[in-house]
């Protein structure tokens, strides 16, 4: 299992690439990498596949035409005119150009890549692991996040149970009024679940600890650090004081991080199963960091003009940098280091001299039922099997008796 932090670093590098470039070749390579990682994850987690509201392919079929059409109707720039709309039409009136249509489609490809990256994260990291990454200083946020993430699945299961119960009673949904017997039990059940959750949180003393003077001082330090960050940013932006502004931003950031660390130390946290940080996690994080740095940092000798593809005023072929293509291969490291799916194969029971024909499952069940009937160890009570108490605690067990 790959560490969740390594997957988050990988996701950050993917988002950096998709938000900094509109080169169609780089976007195509990114989509191919994401598709390969997603396919591999689906094979690894075949038995516990999470449900996504919309597959990346369906998302692309919806988003790409919309973004291309929206950009073509609102941006009337470009030399290759496809058609002209009346100028009197507000906002959309004017020439529809191939350049605007292309740039809108490229923006749609970036959106598809971002959506696919988060789908990959949903396959790779469980919700419990993501909630566990929230700092201890924000434990109320972690609790509220876990409640919000489980609200939709619980509501959907409750809705399905209500529909099945009403269908057994002969209820049929033919119109809007027929939904009332479904919504009322759903509303009542949701309120009951909320009350039970609130009572459970109160019984466990959630947010019942009194605020100490040290906690108040830490909150004051957080506020001071945020103000220092704001002052440094304003000095850099408004007055051009890069040195002083940078120093203030570093000071404010240190204050905020230190205060949050202190507040987190005041909150006890129990982890039942630690996820170790292995060498493959470090390799994935380093490869993703190199990819992000190649697209963000202007390294000397590294050509970066191909990152900024702009189809206006006339559409042209995009430029390609071999170094940037090589940097994109760093996002394929999870394909190499991802553990293979483990499958459990249970061999059928065979007797000592029965090598040709294994026991059928029906024969095993029949033999087990006959043994239970001979022993009389189980009795039927209200539709459930309950153990019968022993009549004599000192009754000897015969040698070779079938249990």
Position 297 pLDDT exceeds 70? yes
DSSP-derived 3-state class of residue 385: strand
CA atoms within 13 A on the CB side of 77: 8
Position 211 pLDDT exceeds 80? no
Rounded alpha-carbon distances, angstroms, from residue 198 to 13, 92, 268, 315:
40, 52, 21, 60
DSSP-derived 3-state class of residue 198: helix
| Residue listed under structure tokens 């946290």 | 269
Q: Mean pLDDT, to the nearest integer, of 140-144? A: 78
pLDDT of residue 73: 93
Q: Mean pLDDT, to the nearest integer, of 118-144? A: 82
Question: φ and ψ at 232, to 5 degrees?
Answer: -65, -40
Q: Which residue has the higher pLDDT, 158 or 378?
A: 158
The neighbour count for residue 260, using CB atoms within 10 Å, is 18
Contact present, 252 and 229 (Cβ < 8 Å): yes
Position 152 pLDDT exceeds 80? no
How far, rounded to the nearest angstrom, does the alpha carbon of residue 265 sit from its chain's CA centroid?
27
Assign 241 a pLDDT band (cuts: 50, 70, 90).
Answer: confident
Cβ neighbors of 5 (< 8 A, separation 6 or more) are 133, 277, 281, 285
Q: Which residue has the higher pLDDT, 306 or 381?
A: 306
Q: Which two tokens stand for residue 6?
A: 């390594």
Q: Which residue has the higher pLDDT, 359 or 260?
A: 260
CA 202 – CA 205 distance, rounded (Å): 5
Q: Which residue has the higher pLDDT, 206 or 63?
A: 63
pLDDT of residue 343: 52
CA 273 – CA 116 distance, rounded (Å): 29
Alpha helices in 209-278 (DSSP H): 213-238, 242-265
pLDDT of residue 350: 46
pLDDT of residue 48: 60
Position 290 pLDDT exceeds 80? yes
Q: Mean pLDDT, to the nearest integer, of 331-339? A: 88
- Global pTM exceeds 0.75: no
Q: Using the Cα atoms of residue 182, residue 185, residue 191 and residue 193 in order, give the sign of their dihedral.
A: negative
Contacts by residues 341-348 (CB-CB < 8 Å, ≥ 24 positions apart):
341/43, 341/44, 341/45, 341/46
DSSP assigned state of 53: S
Cβ neighbors of 239 (< 8 A, separation 6 or more) are 245
DSSP-derived 3-state class of residue 197: helix
DSSP-derived 3-state class of residue 38: helix
Position 401 pLDDT exceeds 80? no
Position 47 pLDDT exceeds 80? no
pLDDT of residue 204: 77
Greatest CA span in the chain, whole angstroms? 102
Question: φ and ψ at 83, to 5 degrees?
Answer: -160, 170
Q: Which two tokens stand for residue 139?
A: 């434990």
Assign 216 a pLDDT band (cuts: 50, 70, 90).
Answer: confident
Position 309 pLDDT exceeds 80? yes
Q: How many residues does the chain have?
A: 403
């Amino acid at each position: 299992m790959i560490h969740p932090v390594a997957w988050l670093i990988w996701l950050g590098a993917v988002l950096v690439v998709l938000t900094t470039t509109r080169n169609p070749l780089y976007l195509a390579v990114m989509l191919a990498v994401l598709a390969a990682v997603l396919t591999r994850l689906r094979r690894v987690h075949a038995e516990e596949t999470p449900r996504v509201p919309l597959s990346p392919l369906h998302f692309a079929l919806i988003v790409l035409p919309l973004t291309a059409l929206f950009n073509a109707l609102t941006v009337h720039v470009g030399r290759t005119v496809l058609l002209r709309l009346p100028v009197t039409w507000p906002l959309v009136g004017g020439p529809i150009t191939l350049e605007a249509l292309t740039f809108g489609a490229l923006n749609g490809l970036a959106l598809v890549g971002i959506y696919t990256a988060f789908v990959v994260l949903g396959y790779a990291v469980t919700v419990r692991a993501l909630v566990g990454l929230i700092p201890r200083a924000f434990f109320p946020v972690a609790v509220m996040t876990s409640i919000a993430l489980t609200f939709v699945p619980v509501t959907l299961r409750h809705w399905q149970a209500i529909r099945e119960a009403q269908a057994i009673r002969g209820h049929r949904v033919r119109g809007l009024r027929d939904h009332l017997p479904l919504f009322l039990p759903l509303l009542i059940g949701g309120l009951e679940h909320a009350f039970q959750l609130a009572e459970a949180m109160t019984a466990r003393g959630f947010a019942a600890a009194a605020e100490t003077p040290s906690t108040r001082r830490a909150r004051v330090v957080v506020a001071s650090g945020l103000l220092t960050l704001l002052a440094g940013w304003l000095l850099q932006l408004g007055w051009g004081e890069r040195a002083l502004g940078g120093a203030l931003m570093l000071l404010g950031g240190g204050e905020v991080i230190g205060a949050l660390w202190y507040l987190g130390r005041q909150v006890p946290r129990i982890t039942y199963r630690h996820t170790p940080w292995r060498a493959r996690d470090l390799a994935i994080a380093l490869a993703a960091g190199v990819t992000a740095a190649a697209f963000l940092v202007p390294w000397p000798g590294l050509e970066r003009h191909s990152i900024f593809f702009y189809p206006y005023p006339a559409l042209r072929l995009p430029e390609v940098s071999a170094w940037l293509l090589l940097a994109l291969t760093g996002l394929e490291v999870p394909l190499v280091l991802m553990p293979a799916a483990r499958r459990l194969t249970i061999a059928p029971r065979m007797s000592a001299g029965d090598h040709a024909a294994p026991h059928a499952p029906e024969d095993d069940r029949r033999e087990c039922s006959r043994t239970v009937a001979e022993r009389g160890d189980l009795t039927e009570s209200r539709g459930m099997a309950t153990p019968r108490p022993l009549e004599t605690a000192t009754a000897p067990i015969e040698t070779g008796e079938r249990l």
